[in-house]
Amino acid sequence: MEKWRRIKYQPNQPLYAERDRVTAGAEHIALSRQAAGEGMVLLKNENHVLPLERGARVALFGKGSIDYVKGGGGSGDVTVDYVKNLWDGMKEKEAEGKVTLLPELYTFYKKNVEKQYEEGAVPGMTVEPELPEELLRTARNFADTAVISICRFSGEGWDRQITSDDGGSFLPEPEKHFVELQNRIFEKGDFNLTEAENALIEKVKNAFDKVIVVLNVGGMVDSTWFKNEERIEGVLLAWQAGMEGGAAEADILCGDVNPSGKLTDTFAASLEDYPSTEHFHDSPDYVDYTEDIYVGYRYFETMDGARKKVNYPFGFGLSYTEFVLEDSKVFYTSTGAKLSVHVTNVGECAGKEVVQVYYSAPQGRLGKPARELADYKKTRLLQPGESQWLHFFIPYAFMASYDDLGKISRSAWVMEAGEYIFYVGTSVENVHKLEETYCLDKDIVTEQLTSQCAPSALPKRLLADGSYEELPVDAAAMEDSAAKRREREIREQAASGLEPQDYDALEGALPYPYATEDYAGRGEKRDRMSLQDVTGGEITLEAFISQLTVEELAALLGGQPNMGVSDTYGLGNLSQCDIPNVLTADGPAGLRIRPERGVTTTAWPCATLLACTWNTELVEAVGRAGAEEVKENNLGVWLTPAINIHRSPLCGRNFEYCSEDPVVSGKIGAALVRGIQSMHIGAELKHFACNNKETNRKESDSRLSERALREIYLKGFEIVVKEAKPYLVMSSYNLINGVRASENKELLTNILRDEWGFEGLVTTDWYTHGEHYKEVRAGNDIKMGRGYADRLMQAYREGALSIEEMRLSVRRLLEIILKID
């Protein structure tokens, strides 16, 4: 096929010859179900209550058995043909003779949920109805096992609340509506059970000997109510598992799939046990990351007495079979540690196990977490009695810590003298220590850098002994606010000869209609070199770019109009030079096309569930399948993966992200990118960086140390960039230590490009509050969903932006377009 034929002409034809369309096809839907089953985590299974015995009589309780949440809202939503809830999945099993269900419960919950939907409710934001006593008695007389389903909704643009409070005064509509609705439904915040849910659970516990709970949620939730409750014997953390999620739940409950998911977050006893909770909602203008590098298990494993606050540790997950890890060996080379582990299935059914390798570095002068994940691998499906060797290589430099204050060597990655210990196991707690250790007799600088993105308004940070270290601050920065920052930006714009922009008025504004002659030079029909000539090697890219006028350069540095089924605008679009309009599409839970377009796609499980598979081969297959749907629908860039750290359970967008750990986030993100780009579709890695709070996200300042930035919040991005080479990176809305991420040259050029070697294109998130010419100067090549060519031209005339800077960004744009088919 001629290059860019799909992108330019939007043909309505299948991706592969002599085959039906792959979009929302049977093969992709089956893969979605497979991934869903592999990422669900079995948290509890006392007395082997699961899997259900064949022929079991089962009572399905809770409106969540009907009110299924396939995924989060916002950019993570997907238009589908159908969604299978738990009732749908269990009815399939009933038809196969595996269980018998009580239809009266189905009628009760279906009628109630449909009524709430008719009144405007959305999945996961419904009220648990009171269970009639007569129906409970009928169920008790009918069934030997009760399954209670609890569900939660998640969404972009708003955060979870600690209690039922205001919390939404800084949010635009419709995000504010969701916070207000959340406050009405969840009296103590949606991390906890509602009073109605508690009442239902008490009734069912008192009526049944066998009680199982299924959690259809997008993030961490309270687990204390079932952890030590003897009357609840089984708990399946089913996440938001896509369009086949209810069927995947039934697969596990009935034993057709053996659970092999492992937690990628720590489930603490209470929300208050997480160090990020106390000050999360202090201000809409900033967040202080005072816990520093001690995020998730790094905190609970390190701080004195914190481990006892953990209900379910990072990496934990049960199986229907049992595994033995033995013959763990480590051999130290000149550059790193080689480890081997022998895994055997000693149980009675086939299953998969995840082997996790942790290390412990000497505390030294910098202080370190007690344990940190170095690497992991998942076995193939092992039959009873079958074994597999897994092999690992951990470079020594991977165990270095960043010295941001110069305690050993300022702005350097350092390995301190002392003993480095390796642990092998199946969770951060369930590990055994390897006898052979690696010892250094002196400090070693593994990489010398320069300070980037350092804080000026973070007063203190947590140390390994639980005390706090005071940090140097700037008094003016401490008093800064969104209002003061806006006044300063207006003064800077005036000094550059620019009129102030009304960001709120521009929110959602359409790109310029560049296909017309609205901008000088774009509509000229003179003889021009074609980008097709570059693909054929007839001219160089430099020669092609040299013909472009400054007006054309400026116009190319912004988002372009939608075509076909696209909803998130395009890149390129200069027809007289044969630059196509490469269209983008939202992710990451599937190709997102609005319902009015008439195209349905495959809804994949949420990113957290995919990460909980710990299976990079499976995730890569999901990435490739998703990219096939993107390509078949004539789109060129998929806005995924999103790999921001789960700093706090309160972040409303955690469902789009992978983990509290940067290694898991980076490995899973890299797998998705490899899968997507195997189809010559651009993967856009996001949100770079520190987008860990949704409230007032375009003006909130993430204040953190440079060490925490590099070791926790950038590390996953670094892994993806170096291992998978994504075509695009999306800068985040928020500020980082007082500088907008989209205008941050230290982040986008010095770190991303100069240190890591990124060679792709950087775009903004859609409708940032950054000034366009400052973004281009910082290395943020394209402003989405639209650019402001007139402001770029004015900055060029005033000497605030050079033609060389514009040409550099256009070059990066065209290099990416040349990679896309």
The residue behind tokens 């720590």 is 266
Gyration radius from the chain CA atoms: 27
- Report long-range pairs for 23-28 (Cβ below 8 Å, ≥24 apart): 23/591, 23/599, 23/600, 23/601, 23/602, 23/628, 23/629, 23/632, 23/633, 24/80, 24/81, 24/600, 24/601, 24/602, 24/629, 25/602, 27/625, 28/602, 28/625, 28/628, 28/629
Cα gap 361→183, rounded to integer Å = 44
**Got the DSSP string for 266-279?**
-EESSGGGSTTSTT
Cα gap 319→709, rounded to integer Å = 36
Catalytic residue among 67, 288, 292, 765: 765
b/e map of 229-265 (b: 16 or more CB within 10 Å)?
beebbbbbbbbbbbbbbbbbbbbbbbbbbbbbbbbbb
Q: Can you give the length of the chain in residues? A: 821
| Extended beta strands in 689-794, E state | 701-703, 728-731, 735-736, 739-740, 761-763
Cα gap 435→533, rounded to integer Å = 62
Q: What is the 3-state secondary structure (H, E, C) of 44-85?
A: EEHHHCCCCCCCEEEEEECHHHCCCCCCCCHHHCCCCCCCCC
Nearest to 512 by CA among 524, 528, 523: 523
Query: Is 578 an active-site residue?
Result: no
Tokens found for residue 542: 């430099």
Contact 336, 369 (CB under 8 A): no
Nearest to 167 by CA among 151, 196, 190: 190
- Relative to beta strand 387-395, strand 145-151 is unpaired
Give, in order, the Cα–Cα distances in Å from 742 to each of 44, 131, 699: 44, 51, 12
Chain centroid, CA 438 distance in Å:
34
Cα gap 582→599, rounded to integer Å = 19
Residue type, 358: Y
Chain centroid, CA 38 distance in Å:
18
Contacts of 664 by beta carbon, 8 Å cutoff, 6+ apart: 264, 373, 376, 611, 614, 658
Q: DSSP label at 467? A: -
Task: Give me the residues paired with residue 325 across strands.
Answer: 343
Contacts of 240 by beta carbon, 8 Å cutoff, 6+ apart: 69, 70, 71, 72, 154, 216, 217, 218, 605, 606, 609, 655
Contact 773, 740 (CB under 8 A): no
Q: DSSP label at 783? A: B
- Relative to beta strand 372-378, strand 739-740 is unpaired
Nearest to 200 by CA among 102, 249, 267, 127: 127
Angle between helices 86-95 and 245-253 in degrees, nearest 10: 50
Cα gap 242→33, rounded to integer Å = 8
Q: Is 295 exposed, middle or buried (0-12, 13-18, 19+ CB in 10 A)?
A: buried
Tokens found for residue 444: 């070693």
Backbone φ and ψ of 415, nearest 5°? -105, 115
Cα gap 816→181, rounded to integer Å = 42
Q: What is residue 96's three-state secondary structure?
A: coil
b/e map of 710-731 (b: 16 or more CB within 10 Å)?
bbbbbbbbbbbbeebbbbbbbb
Q: Which residues are marked as active site?
A: 765
